[in-house]
Amino acid sequence: MSQDVAVEDLAELDAHMEVKRLTDLINAHNVAYYRDDAPTVSDAEYDALMRRLQAIEARYPTLAKPDSPTQRVGAAAASGFRKVKHARPMLSLGNVFSEEELRDFMDGIRRFLKELRDDPTIPVVMVSEPKIDGLSISLTYRDRQFQRAATRGDGSEGEDVTENVRTLKDLPVTLPADAPDLLEVRGEVYMTKEDFAALNAGQAEKGGKVFANPRNAAAGSLRQLDPAVTASRPLTFFAYAWGEVSAVDWTTQSGFLERLEGWGFPVNPLSRTCATVEEMLAHYAEVNTGRAGLPYDIDGMVYKVDRLDWQERLGFVSRAPRWATAHKFPAEKATTVLHRITVQVGRTGSLTPVANLEPVTVGGVVVSRATLHNADEITRLDAREGDTVVIQRAGDVIPQVVEVVKDAAHAARPPFAFPTHCPECGSEARRDDDGAVTRCTGGLICPAQAVERLKHFVSRNAFDIEGLGKKQIEAFFADGLIKTPGDIFRLVSGHRDVILEREGWGATSVDNLARALTERRTIALERFIFALGIRQIGQATARLLAKQYGSLAGWRAAMDAARQDHDGEAYADLVSIDGVGPSVAEDLLAFFDEAHNRQVLDDLQALLTVEDFIPPDEAGSPVAGKTVVFTGTLEAMTRGEAKARAEALGAKVAGSVSKKTDFLVAGPGAGSKAKKAADLGVTVLDEAQWLAMTGGSAG
Ligand code: IVH
């Protein structure tokens, strides 16, 4: 049988059959493991099948099919990663934060081991290693071949990230002859600061996820289901510990680190042995000083008892070793002068205050700007221009102002007045409901937000203009050809020659664009409202508004009336639309309050034909155009279904009863709404009456 033949001896025809056999087997095991949660083979057997299949495919590349199980990430695409039980648990470390705590830790070791307690002159040699700010990983080598990589997980069980780890720089795949037959090396996967910055810049450019720090970037990259993505994100690692090993022939941690180097593993060059607490502290201070200049993030030092026999006797307390601890670095701080507070406008219109500082070195990096987060933070710190401030840099996150020196000069300075208007466009700035973020209301005209708004304006559910996507909008905006939504419709008529000169545009494509623009000059009211990109006005709310107000002119008139009098009828009507409410109304009216936005609307109104809302097919519906309110418990259907049905029949469903209400459908438990309806003379129906009227049945 071909399954017993070594890969090298397989003829092509047999190999072909063997590939099929292995593929079917592995797929069946995958189903058992992933779908049924009931593995049918051990991990080792599974790995052996996989390796055999890989070997055959390597020998006969034509047999490697795109849907081969080997082409899936170790843990099969959508199902996540295969779980891996650690042969020896991957533990964590205790912490010390001061010299005193470190001395206590060392005293504990001395008290634990009798010979050390009895003879204080015996030195306890410690290995002092930088604590790499990454993710711990376990790498298993069998017969000196890289076999498997697993994350730490919960310490006893991690995830199989073998395929992703294969893409790491500097991973030795084959170990020299003096390495043990079975060797599990543990270490830290990390991303360098430089690679992190480049990755984030690239991500920002293509609108992808931007990571907060190199650690998160490394974690996100390692846990990619597609190893091709991991491969494109430079990860590397340092080895510092071991797990399962067939033969331990080293007697100290420092000896082990030397072995690791000899086997070709990257070992941190700053590690060294220390014979006294003084040496440990000196090393700690030295590494901390050079920390900012290191190409990767570290968050402290790890001290480990060098002698293995002592490590074994010391053992563990719960999940941390008694023979090792971490000594964290304090966040890097510096004192400087806060010259000016400027306010930046983000792409969503959020206003972020920035402290412009007298340049100062924080742990080796010159900092001249720091974040003040938001208006509340400025108030909390009472930061004033001219103040002396303490800034902090933790890891690679944006430096922040953490403290203001409250001297006499501070008291004499005026408190900072947070801008009431957007520094980019002059539109009014308002606080979000939760108060944390202040936002510019000039969405359509604010240069900081304009590109995003314009992209939204032409997007699929809005104007959906063929041939005019995000890329084209960005390019035309950058060239100054479009600034406001109206400019889009003047694009071809006003700039035909300029566009023709651009790469990728010929007479045909410009003509096509002109045609697409003409086609879209007529648009449904609900799409038009959605296209404006008003905060909180998504497709569903845009539809509700279109339905409520019927026409663009009607909507604008109602919004103008509502914004001028929050106690009036127009405002009451607006907030009584089921699905609107005060917070949405607030954002909507803020948009209309802004003169720039009204100009944009005037402009568009002159350029376009905005079609009145066309109610859905409701011929013969007795409730078409009527306003209905539901209250109490409905028995035949949920409130959501009742509402959807009423709407399908052309009714408007409101949340509260007013003079405009035509019917109140009241189930058992109806309270104040029923009373109000009675007071206003509104027709009140029970559910059965409503169903009879709308042709539904209770069953
Ligand atoms: S030794 C039983 N050495 O720190 C000892 N850990 O807070 C196991 N780490 O999970 C860890 N650099 O991810 C050790 N030189 C180093 C380290 C290090 C970073 C991480 C590791 C561990 C965590 C514990």
Give the DSSP per-residue string, 482-538: -SSHHHHHHHHHHHHHHHHHSTT--HHHHHHHHHHHHHTTEEEHHHHHHHT--TT--
Tell me: pLDDT of 222 over 70.
Answer: yes
The residue nearest atom 18 of ligand 1, judged by CA position, is 131
d(CA 378, CA 393): 18
Nearest alpha carbon, ligand 1 atom 7: 93
Q: Answer whether residue 79 shows pLDDT above 60.
A: no
Which residues, in sequence order, are CB contacts of 686 under 8 Å at separation 6+? 665, 666, 667
Which pLDDT belongs to residue 636?
78
CA gap 600, 315 in Å, rounded: 72
- Taking the centre of ligand 1 as the mean of its atom positions, its distance from the CA of residue 385, in whole angstroms, is 43
pLDDT at 317: 82
Do 390 and 330 meet the contact criterion of CB atoms below 8 Å apart?
no
Phi, psi of 550 (to 5 degrees): 80, -50
State if residue 543 touches ligand 1 by the CB under 6 angstroms criterion: no
| Lowest model confidence (mean pLDDT) among 204-208, 331-335, 478-482, 604-608 | 204-208
Phi/psi-derived region of residue 264, left when phi > 0, alpha when psi is between -120 and 50, beta in every other case: left
Ligand 1 center to residue 120 CA distance, Å? 29
Q: What span, in angstroms and rounded, lies between the C-alpha atoms of 88 and 243?
A: 6
Q: Give CA–CA dist 614/547, Å, rounded.
A: 8
| Alpha carbon of 296 to ligand 1 centroid (Å) | 15
Q: How far is the CA of 232 from the centre of ligand 1 (A)?
A: 26
Ligand 1 atom, smallest distance to 135 CA = 13
CB 186 within 8 A of CB 135: no
118-129 mean pLDDT: 96
Average pLDDT over residues 286-311: 94
Ligand 1 binding pocket includes 301 (Cβ within 6 Å) = no
Does the C-beta of 277 come closer than 6 Å to ligand 1? no
137 C-beta closer than 6 A to ligand 1: no
Domains by residue range for the chain, with CATH: 2-72 (1.10.287.610), 126-328 (3.30.470.30), 333-439 (2.40.50.140), 442-520 (1.10.150.20), 525-611 (1.10.150.20), 627-694 (3.40.50.10190)
641 versus 507: which is more confidently predicted? Answer: 507
**642-685 pLDDT, tens per residue?**
777 788 788 888 888 988 899 999 888 888 888 888 888 898 98
Per residue in 484-512, pLDDT tens?
Answer: 999 999 999 889 998 998 888 889 999 99
Q: What is the pLDDT of residue 462?
A: 92
- pTM more than 0.75: no
Ligand 1 centroid from CA 92, angstroms: 7
Which atom from ligand 1 is nearest to the alpha carbon of 326? Answer: 7
Distance from the alpha carbon of residue 249 to the mean position of ligand 1, in angstroms: 22
User: Does residue 188 have its Cβ closer than 6 Å to ligand 1?
Assistant: yes
131 is known as an active-site residue = yes
Name residue 465's amino acid.
I
Among the atoms of ligand 1, which is closest to the Cα of residue 321? Answer: 2
Pocket test for ligand 1, best of 302, 303, 304, 318 (most atoms within 8 A of CB): 302
> Which pLDDT band holds residue 552 (cuts at 50, 70, 90)?
very high
The finding on whether 93 has its CB within 6 A of some atom of ligand 1 is yes
**CA 276 – ligand 1 centroid, Å:** 21
Ligand 1 centre distance from Cα of residue 114 (Å): 27
The segment with the largest mean pLDDT, out of 250-259, 309-318, 567-576, 611-620, is 250-259
pLDDT in tens, 417-456: 999 999 988 999 988 776 778 989 887 788 888 888 898 9
Q: How confident is the model at residue 409 (pLDDT cuts 50, 70, 90)?
A: very high
Angle between helices 581-593 and 552-564 (to 10 degrees): 100
Cα 241 to Cα 137: distance, rounded to the nearest angstrom = 10
Count the Cβ atoms, other than its own, within 10 Å of residue 236.
Answer: 19
pLDDT above 70 (res 152): yes
Q: pLDDT value at position 75? A: 34
pLDDT at 31 (0 to 100): 66
Determine the Cα–Cα distance for residues 105 and 113; give it in Å rounded to an integer: 13
Cβ of 297 less than 6 Å from ligand 1:
no
**Mean of pLDDT values over 111-126:** 94
Residue nearest atom 9 of ligand 1, based on CA coordinates: 131
- Say what the pLDDT of residue 1 is: 58
**Tell me, what's the pLDDT at 42?**
67
Cα 93 to ligand 1 centroid, rounded to whole Å: 7
Tokens at 686, concatenated: 């029970």
- Report whether pLDDT(32) > 70: no
Nearest partner of 61 among 50, 53, 72, 69, judged by Cα: 53
Q: What is the pLDDT of residue 535?
A: 85
* Ligand 1 atom 6 nearest Cα: 131
Highest mean pLDDT among 38-52, 340-354, 393-407: 340-354
Give me the mean pLDDT over the 161-182 stretch: 92
Question: Which segments of 97-249 are extended strands (E)?
Answer: 126-132, 135-142, 145-151, 157-159, 182-190, 236-245
3-state secondary structure of 455: helix
- Which residue's CA is minimally distant from atom 10 of ligand 1? 92
Sequence-distant (6+) residues with CB within 8 A of 317 are 94
Atom of ligand 1 nearest to the CA of 130: 15
- Average pLDDT (187-201) is 91
Residue nearest to atom 23 of ligand 1 (CA): 92
**pLDDT value at residue 362:** 78
Query: Among 92, 301, 316, 327, which is best to mutate for testing ligand 1, by the most ligand atoms less than 8 A from CB?
Result: 92
Ligand 1 pocket check: which of 127, 131, 270 to mutate, most ligand atoms within 8 Å of Cβ? 131
The verdict on the CB of residue 131 being under 6 Å from ligand 1 is yes
> Residue 698: what pLDDT?
45
Catalytic residue among 85, 131, 169, 209: 131
> Mutate which of 188, 189, 242, 314 to test ligand 1's pocket (most atoms within 8 Å of Cβ)?
188
Q: Quick one: tokens of 27?
A: 């797929």
User: H or E stretch including 344?
Assistant: strand 332-345
Close Cβ partners of 555 (under 8 Å, ≥ 6 residues apart): 525, 529, 545, 546, 549
Distance of alpha carbon 157 from alpha carbon 83, whole angstroms: 7
What is the mean predicted confidence (pLDDT) over 61-67?
A: 75
Give 204 or 21, the one with higher predicted confidence.
21
pLDDT on residue 342: 93
Greater model confidence, 617 or 245: 245
Centroid of ligand 1 to alpha carbon of 288 (angstroms): 17
Whether residue 136 has its Cβ less than 6 Å from ligand 1: yes
**Which numbered atom of ligand 1 lies nearest the CA of 95?**
7
**pLDDT at residue number 397:** 60
Ligand 1 pocket test: which of 240, 283, 308 has the largest number of ligand atoms within 8 Å of its C-beta? 240
Nearest to 164 by CA among 60, 58, 80: 80
Residue 428 DSSP symbol: B
Locus of tokens 């797990």: 243
Which has more pLDDT, 63 or 375?
375
Higher-confidence position of 365 and 163: 163
Residue 92 Cβ < 6 Å to ligand 1 = yes
Closest to 303 in 3D by CA, of 280, 319, 285, 320 = 280
C-alpha closest to that of 219 among 205, 201, 199: 199
pLDDT 10s digits, 562-591: 999 988 899 999 998 888 888 899 889 999
Across the range 368-373, mean pLDDT stands at 89
Question: 304-358 pLDDT, tens per residue?
Answer: 999 999 999 999 887 789 999 999 888 778 899 999 999 988 777 889 899 999 9
- Output the CA 453–ligand 1 centroid distance in Å: 46
Instruction: Give me the phi and psi of 127, to 5 degrees please.
Output: -95, 130
Who's near 267: CB < 8 A, 6+ residues apart? Answer: 238, 239, 240, 257, 260, 261
Average pLDDT rounded to a whole number, residues 106-123: 93
Please, what is the average pLDDT of the chain? 87
3-state helix, strand, coil in the chain (%, to 5): 40, 20, 35
CB 658 within 8 A of CB 576: yes
CA of 324 from ligand 1 middle (Å) equals: 9
Any idea which residue has 């402009």 for tokens? 603
Least Cα distance to 160 among 324, 50, 293 occurs for 50
Question: Cα separation of 500 and 471, whole Å?
Answer: 16
* Whether the predicted pLDDT of 252 surpasses 80: yes
Q: Is 302 close to ligand 1, i.e. is its CB under 6 Å away?
A: yes
Query: What pLDDT, on the 0 to 100 scale, is given for residue 88?
Result: 92
Highest mean pLDDT among 386-400, 476-490, 626-640: 476-490
The SS3 assignment for 118 reads helix
